[in-house]
Amino acid sequence: MGRGQPSQSDCLSDKERGGETALEKTSILIVDDDESILATLSAILKGEGYDIDTAKNGKEAIEKSKSRFFNLALLDIRLPDMEGTKLLTTMHDNMPKMVKIMLTGYPSLQNAIEALNLGADAYIIKPVNPEKLIKIIKEKLEKQREAKKISEERVAKWIKKRVREIESEYPR
């Protein structure tokens, strides 16, 4: 290659090189009142390439999710200002497509059933096994991507069908 000429790898997009572009980077909100859990989960998930933000209570989580899109939220079931299930309900109502995973150090069958009935996509007991958490996150995000792809394909089919209908109604 001559001087000033871009190499083939310079011409590849981030995605073609195997990475994600800034617009495509998966964002995760971690909500927990325990600073050490926030720090640990943040480090683990940043190491996996996710864009991480944290909140120490429900109110902060709601505010952050209003100003920014998150693909996934990890929600502690016990927060200082509200029950995690109340936060789950609020987030489910405001952001139904966001994946919501409940975390708890106080497991009970009643909590698990309630959380899943209120829209949780998974229920994980602390202490969290990092490999298990990463596996669950990847599975849930893949389902989210598939659902988005299917939705986009349906919209594209509907648009094509509607264009054909309009063209047949108004021939040139």
Q: Is residue 134 part of a domain?
A: yes
Determine the structural domain holding residue 135 and report its residue range. 11-143
**Span 97-114, pLDDT tens digits:** 899 999 998 888 888 888
**Span 30-81, pLDDT tens digits:** 999 999 999 999 999 999 999 999 999 999 999 999 999 999 999 999 999 9
Which CATH number do you get for residue 80? Answer: 3.40.50.2300
With residues binned 3-state (H G I as helix, E B as strand, rest as coil), the percentages for the chain, rounded to 5, are: 50, 15, 35
pTM beyond 0.75, yes or no: no
In whole angstroms, give the CA distance from residue 25 to residue 71. 9
Domain count, the chain: 1
Higher pLDDT, 57 or 94: 57
Q: Is residue 155 part of a domain?
A: no
Q: Is residue 158 part of a domain?
A: no
